Chain A
């Protein structure tokens, strides 16, 4: 399985990561060799096998719909890199 430079740039974009030009080739090689190893799974026939996403028999866990105390604005914003008027502040979104 080979990963192209174009693939690396595409994945990086999806993951919101910046990849410098000089890193692309190295990453393509590393990801390619891991994917090559992972290809091993192709040896197995899994027809009719159910996928496991979770090991315990727990489904749609709910609790009683009762109001409980929450963090509060001050605590929730305490770690924010930037906050204003009780909100998180981010750089401009719309040009």
Chain B
């Protein structure tokens, strides 16, 4: 059985027909982690109880118990989703060895589904970064070229799925942290509508923007996992009142007659010509499948990065105030409380996190609050209106995910602003709050993956997943693991 190329549906069928056991499936991926994670460096922690948990699922199945569709299938979690049986570090020194006293709602839902958590995945520290280079522990590498970054901040999630170390993974997206690494690693990454998946137990970066989503080889796999984790949660007051549903029901593969908006502003200066060519070829394919491309304008696109770096850092400076050496995490010993706070935070946080806390503190400080923070919230309204106007005319928006393919380590890390601009095409969506995904649409001349972004209205995950599904069926863009990971 060729497990590595199996879809979740095929795995589920094989498990139910007892052609495959969960123990075999989990062991297969644990072996691959052992063999390849030395190169990829995606896992911060591997679950030592995974095989035992798989055996329990197998035993329940052998007893004739009716199990959920994904029971026995492995998954891995970005290390900012709390788990009561494994450490959660946010790739930060300040949470070294932290063990949460409870599970995130998504962790509970994954377990309720019977999925087996393989481990916790590396990320940029506190999800602040676009390359995984800000992690305190390890730099995850891009499986397509180990000298290049996997993107970020969910770099470990993207790289682990790309290398076939897990069939699916969860990440989080605040300004592109699912879609950009998915694009750079050649996998499907979905950011659902804000509020679709509970944020309870997701360690907060920017609360009005953060959203948990999926990484998978196919859109269908992503839709299956989303069906397991989406839905209203009374423990999260910003959770949307959405009913549980089967997102695969909308994956008909029929996208005839859909209007797809092509925003001119997303194809302008700064876009790598090869990326542009591949995305345009993707749009041509969608046209062949019956979609009608419509040129649209999103006039406030140019302001999105500025708005984002005010709002996200302001919210982060407030959220990260809880890391003070009192209740959990690292503490630097000092004579008095004030010195303990400052020493703990200065030694516990890395440079990028400190930079963003300082920027956020500045824009919220007396005399600057109106000029920066309120102004940014007003421009956020204008960006939101750009989307609302566009969606009056079109069903979905198609654009590149990232202005370039995977870049080299160190290429952008010395210039914070340049790094921020690598999220230029993903950030607007978080400010609007809708759903979006990145689907592989080809490779550049160095065989690095290119991603095409599909953006949708609030709660229209099914529609954009169906476009991605139809595209994957028709385009023939490979979902194989890279050479070097096939053995």
Contact = CB atoms under 8 A, between A and B. Distances in A.
B102 A16 contact: no
Interface residues of B, number: 68
A55 B345 contact: no
Contact of B342 (A16, A44, A53, A63): A16
A53 to B, nearest CB: 6
B166 interface: no
6 pairs of A and B residues whose beta carbons are closest in the complex: A55-B433, A51-B377, A79-B328, A81-B331, A46-B378, A18-B346
Contacts, number: 157
Given A41-B307, A93-B337, A15 B361 contact: yes
A15 B345 CA distance: 9
Main SS class of interface, B? helix
A54 B208 contact: yes
Interface of A: 3, 7-8, 10-12, 14-19, 27, 30-31, 33-35, 37-38, 40-41, 44, 46, 49-56, 58, 61, 63, 71, 75-76, 78-82, 88, 90-93, 95
Nearest to B430: A55
24 contacts: A15-B345, A16-B324, A17-B357, A18-B346, A31-B355, A35-B359, A37-B305, A37-B306, A38-B309, A46-B379, A49-B381, A52-B381, A54-B208, A55-B208, A56-B194, A56-B240, A56-B433, A61-B237, A61-B238, A79-B327, A81-B329, A88-B326, A91-B334, A93-B336
Contact of A55 (B237, B339, B432): B432
A63 to B, nearest CB: 6
A41 B379 contact: yes
Interface in B222-255: 234, 237-238, 240
Contacts of B382: 44, 46, 49
Given A38-B306, A51-B380, A75-B101, A63 B234 contact: yes
A94 B128 CA distance: 36
A10 B417 CA distance: 22
A81 B323 CA distance: 12
Nearest to A16: B341
